[in-house]
Structure 1
Amino acid sequence: MTAEQTRHSILLVDDDANDRELAQIVFSELAAESGDRANVQILSGGQEALDFLSRQAAQPGQLPDVVLLDLNMPQMDGLSVLQAIRGNPATATLPVVILSTSRERSDVQRSYTLGANAYVVKPLDYDHFHRTIASVLDFWTGQNQVNR
């Protein structure tokens, strides 16, 4: 398998069904455009994401290349998920990109304080959302060197 054919693994965690559906459409379109069919896992809650990551961490090389994490989720918010990811030695270095509609300075600062690798404001219109996701994935699954 060449570098261009490498299957990338992406975990999106977002409680909003519309945002999950929109992201799935974008992931499918990006795969069609690039020919790279990434392994995309889309989950709706924080605890579900931590359970998934725990199972993946138990198998060498199975953690995702990047986690796209929403902040505002019920039961367990994104900051709590981020803190748990960073607190687990098996996932501590996993790239986590906060993908949120919040532009609140306190959310941005707290995300970085807890170890987020990036903070991206989720665009509201489809074309901008598509370009943003494409850019994030290009960096985290293309240019970034994964620490596995």
Structure 2
Amino acid sequence: MNSFILKPILVVEDSTEDFTALGRVFRKYALRNPVLRCEDGDQALEYLQGYGNAVGWPQTLPAIVLLDLNLPGTDGRTVLDTLKQDARLHSIPVIIFSTSSSERDVEDCYRLGANSYLTKPISYAALEEKIRLIIQYWLEASELPLANRLAS
């Protein structure tokens, strides 16, 4: 019998306020997956490209990545492009979650391989609804590749 664990959700977000709000919503909807935060693009790439190698990092890749675009250091566009060019990482769904609603940003992100692009809402109620939909679609309704769903 295999023992399965839930894969983490990686949130790449430099704003403590935004990450705290996301955490509240995840708890409200009883998200069972562990939530991992990277505060900038460099830290996200360090984890994703070297998962399992550093003390304190999970030994598995995330089920999904919620990626902000405007990050200190390596920005979200570069993180997205790097993930989608890496054969080990390209199947991880990357959901852009940004304050930018610029047509150019949306087009660029889809061209780079984003699986979804969502604009961060201003109101907390709207944030709750978007996160509920992310959980429902990406973690409950979607059929993710086995490597993105579970680790044995």
Give the TM-score range, shorter chain. 0.7 to 0.9
Q: Is the 1:14–1:43 contact (alpha carbons within 8 Å) kept by the matching residues of 2?
A: yes
- The answer for the alignment partner of 1:11 in structure 2 is 10
RMSD across aligned C-alpha pairs, in angstroms? 2.0
Question: Given the alignment, which residue of 46, 50, 73 partners 1:51?
Answer: 46
**TM-score for both structures, normalised by structure 2:** 0.84
Does the residue aligned with 2:108 lie in a helix, a strand or coil?
helix
Q: Which has the higher helix share?
A: 1
Residue ranges of structure 1 left out of the alignment (5+ in a row): none
Alpha-carbon contact 2:99-2:121 (below 8 Å) kept:
yes
CA distance in 1 between partners of 2:103 and 2:139 (Å): 27
Cα 1:110–1:57 change in 2 (3 A) is farther
Aligned residue for 2:68? 70
Aligned to 1:88: 86
Establish whether residue 40 from structure 1 lines up as the match of residue 23 from structure 2: no
For 1:98, what is the secondary structure of its paired residue? strand
Give distance in 1, aligned partners of 2:13 and 2:128: 16
Per-residue deviation, 1:115: 0.1
What is the identity percentage for the equivalent residue pairs of Structure 1 and Structure 2?
Answer: 33
Partner of 1:27: 26
Cα deviation, residue 9, structure 1 = 2.4
CA-to-aligned-CA distance 1:5-63 (integer Å, 9 cap, x gap): 973521110111110111111111111xxxx52111111111111111123377xx821
Structure 1 pair 57–81 and aligned structure 2 pair: CA distance change class (3 A):
farther
Note the alpha carbon deviations across 1:73-116, whole angstroms, 9 max, x for none.
Answer: 12111100001101111101110000001010000000000000
- Give distance in 1, aligned partners of 2:40 and 2:91: 21
- Kept in 1: contact 2:7–2:61 (CA 8 A): no
CA distance in 1, matches of 2:144, 2:61: 10
Find the aligned partners of 1:39 and 1:84 in 2 and give their Cα distance. Answer: 24
Q: TM-score, normalised by structure 1?
A: 0.86
Structure 1 counterpart of 2:134, one-letter code: V
Residue type of the alignment partner of 1:141: L
CA distance in 1, matches of 2:95, 2:132: 13
Q: Give SS of 1:103's match.
A: coil
